[in-house]
Amino acid sequence: MKVFAISVLAWLALAGAAHAQSAASPDAGYAEFFAQSSFGNVTSQAYGGEVGFTVSPALQIFGEFGWIRDTVPASVGANAQIIASGIAAVAGSTSYQVRQPVTFGVGGVKYRVSMPQSRVSPYVLAGGGVGSVKRQTTFTTTGDASQYATIGTDLNGTETKFMLSLGGGVDVPVGSVVVFDVQYRYGRIFTSDSGLNVNRVGLGLGFRF
């Protein structure tokens, strides 16, 4: 999937270099809301918004903010299972639940590919910002789980680190103001362990101004 996404982005960039033409920009900027499916460690959902301002017919600056419902890696579940087994050995039946939501905000540059014979507008983008990863693990047993184990920051805690964002998509206008944004985003948050990769595919509903 990552190789396919990189290939699509490379094709769009080459197409823009070959076919970009100077033309009057149809808008001064835009604002949109998006809903996405996120995948990588686990399949989940993401929601947020984006705003951009036009610098030239082919170039925009943008800011994006959002929330990903869950990004928990298998390693967190494995560590939680070890602790749950230890608690169960002294306290009886024990269950656990792990989640890892992410809140993020990034800004960057969007390059719009010129397609004079079409109303649709492909684009590629790159940017950076911060991602806040919140690890949430809860244990349920017949007693107080805190009596039997101390939960470390690898299972419960928040880490905010630099986030790299790459992506692309196609803007499909509906009338002169409304636009649908079919989009793909790749994000990497440089956490203190092995880092966190998140892929997002979805649809944005935008308004030009």
117, pLDDT greater than 50: yes
Computed over every residue of the chain, the mean pLDDT equals 83
* CATH label of the domain that carries residue 148: 2.40.160.20
Structurally, the chain folds into a number of domains equal to 1
Q: Is residue 23 part of a domain?
A: no
Q: Is residue 146 part of a domain?
A: yes
Question: In which domain, by residue range, is 138 found?
Answer: 2-17+28-208
For range 173-200, the mean pLDDT = 94
Q: Is residue 201 part of a domain?
A: yes
Q: Is residue 122 part of a domain?
A: yes
Q: Which residue has the higher pLDDT, 101 or 22?
A: 101
Task: Read off the amino acid at residue 19.
Answer: H
6, pLDDT greater than 80: no
Q: Is residue 77 part of a domain?
A: yes
Q: Is residue 22 part of a domain?
A: no
The count of other CB atoms within 10 Å of the CB of residue 194 is 9
Q: Which residue has the higher pLDDT, 19 or 86?
A: 86
Q: Which run of H or E residues covers position 106?
A: strand 102-112
Q: Is residue 13 part of a domain?
A: yes
Q: How far apart are CA 73 and CA 50, in angstroms?
A: 27
Q: Which run of H or E residues covers position 138?
A: strand 121-140
Q: Is residue 200 part of a domain?
A: yes
Q: Which of 79-83, 127-131, 138-142 is predicted least confidently?
A: 79-83
- Reported as a single tens digit per residue, the pLDDT across 60-93 is 999 999 999 999 887 676 777 767 777 776 777 7
